[in-house]
């Protein structure tokens, strides 16, 4: 997609230069790692010994070629979703392929999409972000998805045919995990391999870092939470932060839960309210442990213990995904309605419209990379309390749970 007009006033000073004329150093693997998760136990390492080539193959697939070309495009990479009723089942098949999701769970989730006309709102949110970013700076901005059209392979093909040589990639997932990072990088690697096999020109694509603990993102979440508190009309007894549940084996090999807790604590401290982090949207076979408790179950337990007011904050979602619209606005709302006297509000998300501050955040991340200052010169105010996640993911990060090939 081409820029939609002249530079927008919301562009930050850090990227007010002509970004397509600024050269940056070649990407390096594994620099600027300031925080590490606890290492796995011997028992946890054993599955990887059984299938030793899985993470190694992924590391090879996701390795980014070095380039000293100037950045000449920006890619917004999103999850994707169906655009109509006929798309629902094929989309869910893409998302769950090889994961052993029970058929009854797939049908249940399909019903959520059908309730919304078969259309995922996340696609329009991504399109709006592409438009806003294109208007805010000089680089052409492209949009692609992991699980539905426009697929990332098709978008990279378009970029290469248009002469793009080196692009930055903003992934609409704020927190680090296998599903929120490595899967996106694997899809970029597969797209690159496909286009190389076709003999097509392929741009180098470098993913921007996670931003869930970036002060600008925390400021947006704080503002949305404060607005929900004002709608509630009273000081809530509790802030209930939610995020997508993942298997505990994946959580154990990433900073996902730790970064979510850091972000929740920072927002709650500014509002001086007690808080909890709970989970939603669990899938997978019942035999596999996932992060718990579920938000609806937790709220019912707290209500039985005397809770009468709360604000629910979908911290792990940058926009109003189906998981937000269904799991919170529909399913949780129905269960709260059966709890007399429980008053609640749900905070908004920064990427739905998107908020101008969300666009500025993306531009700040672009500016970091263009300046090449991620190794230590980034001002402390944009690093987060525990430091930034790496701009070039180290080998072996977020490997997920090992399983045999299906």
d(CA 115, CA 218) in angstroms, rounded, equals: 32
What the chain holds in terms of domains, given with CATH numbers, is 13-210+353-382 (3.40.50.1400), 215-346 (3.40.50.1400)
d(CA 323, CA 386) in angstroms, rounded, equals: 28
b/e string for 83-117 if b means 16 or more Cβ within 10 A? beeebbbebbebbbeeeebeeebbeebbebbeebe
Residue 394: the pLDDT is: 75
Residue 383: the pLDDT is: 57
Residue 384: the pLDDT is: 61
Residue 48: the pLDDT is: 32
Whether 35 and 386 have beta carbons less than 8 Å apart is answered as yes
Omega of the bond leading into 354 within 30 degrees of 0 (cis): yes
**β partners of residue 206:** 168
Whether 168 and 206 have beta carbons less than 8 Å apart is answered as yes
Residue 116: the pLDDT is: 92
d(CA 259, CA 138) in angstroms, rounded, equals: 32
- Cβ neighbours of residue 306 closer than 8 Å, sequence gap 6 or more: none
pLDDT digit of tens for each residue in the chain (406 aa)? 333 333 333 333 334 333 443 334 333 322 222 222 333 332 232 233 233 356 788 888 899 999 999 999 999 999 999 999 999 999 999 998 877 787 888 899 999 999 999 999 999 999 999 999 999 999 999 999 999 999 999 999 999 999 999 999 999 999 999 999 999 999 999 999 999 999 999 999 999 999 999 999 999 999 999 999 999 999 999 999 999 999 999 999 999 999 999 999 999 999 999 999 999 999 878 889 999 999 999 999 999 999 999 999 999 999 999 999 999 999 999 999 999 999 999 999 999 999 999 999 999 999 999 887 544 445 555 556 677 777 677 777 888 765 433 3
Nearest Cα neighbor of 205 from 221, 193, 223, 222 is 193
pTM of the predicted structure, to 2 decimals = 0.85
Whether 179 and 250 have beta carbons less than 8 Å apart is answered as yes
Residue 245: the pLDDT is: 97
d(CA 263, CA 213) in angstroms, rounded, equals: 5
Residue 387: the pLDDT is: 75
- 24 SS3 class: coil
Q: Locate 390 and state its tokens.
A: 């790496």
Which residue stretches of 137-272 are H helix?
152-161, 183-198, 215-232, 248-251, 256-271
d(CA 159, CA 166) in angstroms, rounded, equals: 10
Residue 389: the pLDDT is: 75
- Cβ neighbours of residue 187 closer than 8 Å, sequence gap 6 or more: 77, 146, 152
Cα–Cα distances in angstroms (integers) from residue 213 to residues 321, 347, 379, in the given order: 20, 18, 14
Residue 284: the pLDDT is: 77
């Amino acid at each position: 997609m081409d820029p939609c007009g002249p530079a927008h006033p919301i562009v930050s000073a850090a990227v007010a230069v002509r970004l397509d004329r600024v050269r940056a150093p070649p990407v390096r693997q594994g620099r600027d790692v300031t925080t590490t998760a606890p290492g796995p136990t011997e028992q946890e390492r054993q599955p990887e010994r059984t299938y030793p080539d899985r993470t190694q193959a992924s590391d090879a697939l996701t390795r980014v070629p070095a380039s000293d070309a100037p950045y000449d495009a920006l890619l917004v990479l999103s999850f994707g979703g169906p655009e109509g009723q006929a798309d629902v089942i094929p989309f869910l098949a893409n998302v769950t392929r090889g994961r052993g999701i029970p058929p009854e769970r797939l049908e249940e989730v399909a019903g959520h999409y059908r309730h919304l006309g078969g259309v995922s709102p996340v696609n329009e949110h991504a399109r709006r972000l592409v438009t806003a970013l294109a208007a805010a700076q000089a680089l052409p901005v492209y949009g692609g998805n992991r699980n539905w059209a426009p697929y990332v392979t098709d978008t990279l093909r378009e970029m290469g045919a248009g002469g793009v040589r080196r692009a930055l990639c903003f992934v609409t997932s704020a927190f680090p995990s296998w599903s929120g990072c490595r899967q996106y990088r694997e899809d970029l690697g597969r797209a690159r391999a496909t286009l190389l096999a076709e003999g097509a020109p392929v741009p180098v694509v470098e993913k921007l870092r996670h931003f869930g603990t970036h002060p600008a993102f925390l400021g947006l979440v704080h503002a949305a939470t404060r607005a929900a508190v004002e709608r509630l009309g009273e000081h809530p007894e509790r802030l209930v932060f939610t995020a997508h549940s993942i298997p505990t084996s994946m959580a154990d090999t990433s900073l996902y839960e730790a970064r979510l807790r850091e972000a929740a604590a920072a927002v709650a401290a500014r509002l001086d309210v007690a808080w909890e982090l709970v989970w939603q949207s669990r899938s997978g076979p019942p035999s596999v442990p996932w992060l718990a408790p579920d938000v609806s179950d937790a709220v019912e337990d707290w209500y039985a213990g005397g809770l009468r007011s709360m604000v629910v904050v979908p911290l792990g979602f940058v926009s109003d995904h189906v998981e937000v619209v269904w799991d919170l606005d529909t399913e949780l709302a129905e269960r709260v309605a059966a709890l007399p006297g429980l008053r609640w509000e749900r905070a908004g998300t920064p990427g739905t419209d998107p908020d101008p501050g969300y666009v500025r955040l993306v531009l700040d991340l672009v500016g970091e990379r263009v300046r090449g200052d991620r190794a230590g010169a980034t001002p402390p105010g944009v690093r987060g309390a525990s430091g930034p996640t790496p701009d070039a993911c180290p080998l072996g990060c977020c490997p997920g749970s090992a399983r045999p090939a299906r």
